[in-house]
Amino acid sequence: MSRRTAREHAFTLLFQLDFSEAEEIKEKTELYFKENELIGDSDHLFILLEIEGVLKHKQEIDTIIENISKGWALYRMPKVDLSILRLATYEILFSDEVPDSVAINEAVELAKKFSGDESPAFINGILGKVAEKSY
């Protein structure tokens, strides 16, 4: 499986978990992998590390996104866009595995595939500021 596909799984799971209570996360994650049994071990590990990283730093990530996106409270953002932003912000700020430009590009591609017409530009603008540490 390509890293892009694994990242898409991470985004999908992260999006689903956004509708879950904290105590349901482990069970929902296990169920996701059971339903997607073709995910190999290395991709499984990558996805888990991405999810765990976002959840560990979620409060800080959300504060950064909200500070950058002036006039856009998080609760007003589409959940798809917010999940994409959280994942890419985690990769930019907390992961040494992914270059910033790759994290931004992958996020824009996810937005093109899963979100509205204006979302890719919005996400690109927010993540550009995250990468510049302009928050």
pLDDT tens-digit map of 8-37? 999 999 999 999 998 999 999 999 999 999
55-73 residue pLDDT tens = 999 999 999 999 999 878 8
Q: Domain limits at 37?
A: 3-131
Question: Would you list the DSSP string of 26-92?
Answer: HHHHHHHHHHTTT--HHHHHHHHHHHHHHHHTHHHHHHHHHHHSTT--GGGS-HHHHHHHHHHHHHH
Please report, for the domain that includes residue 93, its CATH number. 1.10.940.10
Instruction: Quote the number of domains for the chain.
Output: 1
Query: What six digits make up the tokens of 43?
Result: 């991709």
